[in-house]
């Protein structure tokens, strides 16, 4: 029913350290393995294309995970470039109408219930969908000196998460258009929005965090070690 794309070509500059964060050990496995297993555990996901950095020496070389095929390609300078490279590298058997699930390698705590709901609701939407979490904090806009300029209304604000689910052809066209026009898009939904499309937000768990700094890795360790069923 669908293939996954896992962008994993980042260098983790905000995290720091010699080893890119997607290869650090979390609850006994590399961060990326948790993210791959989280998407491949769904019966509707047939395989995964992983976008790697050029000459990625840390990639373990898996050719399958959980009995499903793991293919790799070389990513690009920005996350969107890596996703676009992976879209082009997908097997030709995956036609333009087929759904593709894009999930950050740096989001190891994806819960199976969130994925099931995203796929269930997203596949019924004409455009596609993404997991997102409603903003629950008061949001401030600041000046260059970190002085409050005001408070932003948060009623309609959500934090975009991953996975994000779009059809291969439409997503390829949207990301290609953004690239051609020099527009930096930070997620797949933004590329679709640019074309006037309205992806559906599917509420996801707050603990589907992205590993960006060392504090996030400690939090992810807590999240996974406190899940009743670690593969949940």
Ligand X SMILES: Nc1ccn([C@@H]2O[C@H](COP(=O)(O)OP(=O)(O)OP(=O)(O)O)[C@@H](O)[C@H]2O)c(=O)n1
Q: Which is nearer to ligand X, 34 or 167 (CB)?
A: 34
3-state per-residue secondary structure call for the chain = CEEEEEEECCCCCCCCCCCCHHHCEECCEEHHHHHHHHHHCCCCEEEEEEEECCCCCCCCCCCEECCEEEEEEECCCCHHHHHHHHHHHCCCCCCCCCEEEECCCCCCCCCHHHHHHHHHHHCCCCCEEEEEEECCCCEEEECCCCCEEEEECCCCCEEEEEEEEEEHHHHHHHHHHHHHCCCCCCCHHHHHHHCCCCCEEEECCCCCCCCCCHHHHHHHHHHHHCCCCCCC
Positive or negative CA dihedral for 189, 21, 180, 47? negative
Q: Which of ligand X, ligand LQXTBERG, none is residue 34 near (CB under 5 to 8 Å by kind)?
A: none
Q: Is residue 6 within 8 Å of residue 85, measured between CB atoms?
A: no
Q: Which is nearer to ligand X, 75 or 128 (CB)?
A: 75
x/- map, 193-222, ligand X, by CB under 6 A: -----------------x-x----------
x/- map, 13-52, ligand X, by CB under 6 A: xxx------x----------------------------x-
Q: Which is nearer to ligand LQXTBERG, 3 or 15 (CB)?
A: 15
Q: Which of ligand LQXTBERG, ligand X, none is residue 160 near (CB under 5 to 8 Å by kind)?
A: ligand LQXTBERG
Residue 132 interacts with ligand X (CB under 6 A)?
A: no
Residue 78 interacts with ligand X (CB under 6 A)?
A: yes
Instruction: With contacts defined by CB under 6 A, name the span among 11-19, 59-67, 163-171, 199-207 that binds ligand X.
Output: 11-19
> Segment 99-128, which members bind ligand X (CB under 6 A)?
104-106
Q: Which is nearer to ligand LQXTBERG, 69 or 179 (CB)?
A: 179
Instruction: With contacts defined by CB under 6 A, name the span among 10-18, 90-98, 149-157, 177-185 that binds ligand X.
Output: 10-18
Q: Which is nearer to ligand X, 1 or 25 (CB)?
A: 25
Tokens linked to 143: 């000046």
Q: Rule CB under 6 A: which residues touch ligand X?
A: 7-15, 22, 51, 75-79, 82, 104-106, 210, 212
């Amino acid at each position: 029913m669908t293939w996954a794309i896992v962008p994993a070509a980042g260098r983790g500059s905000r995290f720091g350290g010699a080893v890119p964060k997607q290869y650090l050990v979390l609850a006994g496995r590399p961060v990326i393995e948790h993210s791959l297993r989280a998407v491949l555990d769904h019966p509707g996901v047939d395989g995964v294309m992983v976008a790697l950095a050029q000459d990625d020496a840390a990639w373990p070389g898996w050719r399958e995970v959980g009995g499903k095929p793991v293919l790799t390609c070389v990513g690009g300078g920005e996350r969107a470039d890596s996703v676009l490279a992976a879209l082009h590298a997908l097997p030709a058997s995956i036609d333009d109408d087929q759904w593709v699930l894009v999930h950050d390698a740096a989001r190891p705590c994806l819960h199976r219930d969130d994925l099931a709901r995203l796929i269930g609701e997203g596949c019924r939407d004409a455009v596609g969908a993404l997991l997102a979490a409603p903003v629950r904090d008061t949001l401030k806009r600041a000046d260059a000196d970190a002085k409050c300029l005001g408070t932003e209304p948060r009623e309609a604000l959500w934090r975009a998460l991953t996975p994000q689910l779009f059809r291969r052809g439409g997503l390829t066209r949207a990301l290609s258009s953004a690239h051609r026009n020099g527009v930096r898009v930070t997620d797949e939904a933004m590329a679709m929005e640019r074309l006037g499309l309205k992806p559906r937000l599917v509420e996801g768990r707050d603990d589907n965090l992205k590993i960006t700094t060392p504090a996030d890795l400690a939090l992810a360790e807590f999240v996974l070690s406190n899940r009743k069923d670690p593969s949940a």
